[in-house]
Structure 1
Amino acid sequence: MLESYFQNCMFFASNLLNRAITKMAEEEFKPTGLSPTYAFMMMAVQEQPGITQKELGKALHVTPSTITRFIEKLAYKGLVITRSEGKMSRVELTTLGIERMEVIREAWKSLFRRYVAILGKEEGRNMTKMLYDLGKQLED
């Protein structure tokens, strides 16, 4: 009876899903030495070299202070550098950061393979899009 109570609450259901996928992601990203969020951030920087901190924050749905901390940590590890252009700060991968991208991309592929093995490829893709769209809707 108690379980059905929680099954009907989006807050608890989404937290259950978040804990499960976070555990999987952390296991898959362990070889990278980065959390999935830091790895995703590096992928965004690789996709758009010179991306601004503001653009990164928007892409990751995090506050400017959080993005600053993330960038500082990646810079400390020698994976990114920042360039100031007036009030804007642009982020680029270092040579070491570029070298790490192969293992990062493999971790993403491995995570995808892991959850589609459970959900199925079509369901995994559909669910990911649905969750993203729902998050955007509720965020606005």
Structure 2
Amino acid sequence: MHKFYNECAYFTAARYFRKVEQITNRIFEPTGLAPAYAYILLYLEDYPKSSITKIAEDLGYERTSVSRMLNFLQERGLVVFETSGRKKLFHLSSNSSEVLETANDCLSQLKKLTDKELGNKKVEMTSLLTENYWRLNTYD
């Protein structure tokens, strides 16, 4: 009998991710953006003037995906870039404040929900997931 239902890192992480993604998509609906786009805005709130490479590394997205998402956000007037040598550095535009406020509210709602549902195991679990992500990141 297969035990992957509960023991396989891929299957259990993917199953968990699908559930978290469903919940997060619903919570972030008021932003009018998919959560990944909102998270880029939130990242730029913390780290203004960031490069595509830095955003991709820190958030764990593919560089091409970050580039596509930043282009989308730029087309909507939510981010702008400046050139520094050969690099593009992105930061929030003045038009982003309303969406950013909503995204912060959504993030707070998600935290409250996951704190309530996952309890004190949440901190341990997210720490382990983060640690294991960086361990496996060497296999790229």
Which residue does 1:136 correspond to in 2? 134
Q: In the alignment, is the contact (CA less than 8 A) between 2:4 and 2:11 conserved in 1?
A: no
**1:99 Cα deviation (Å)?**
2.7
Structure 1 gap ranges (5+): none
Counterpart among 124, 127, 133 of residue 126 in structure 1? 124
Task: Give the deviation of 1:104 after TM superposition.
Answer: 0.5
Structural mapping, 1:1-140, within 5 Å: 4-120=3-119, 122-140=120-138
Aligned length: 138
**What are the Cα deviations for residues 10-59 of structure 1, in whole angstroms up to 9, with x where unaligned?**
11111110001000100100011111111111111111211112111111
Superposition TM-score, scaled by structure 2 size: 0.91
CA distance in 2 between counterparts of 1:5 and 1:133 reads 22
3-state SS of 2:130 partner: helix
Q: Quick one: which amino acid aligns to residue 119 of structure 1?
A: L
- TM-score normalised over the length of structure 1: 0.91
Where structure 2 has 5 or more consecutive residues not aligned to the other structure, the ranges are none
Equivalent residue of 1:34, what SS?
Answer: coil
Q: Distance in 1 between matches of 2:92 and 2:4?
A: 47
Q: Distance in 2 between matches of 1:17 and 1:111?
A: 15
Q: How far is 1:74 from its partner?
A: 0.4
Counterpart secondary structure, 1:78: coil
Let me know the Cα RMSD of the aligned residues: 1.4
For residues 55 and 40 of structure 1, the distance between their equivalents in structure 2, rounded to whole angstroms, comes to: 14
Give, in angstroms, the shift of residue 62 of structure 1. 2.0
Deviations 1:78-135 (A, max 9, x none): 1001111221000011111123211111101111111222111x21122111111111
State the Cα distance separating 1:5 from its structure 2 match: 4.1
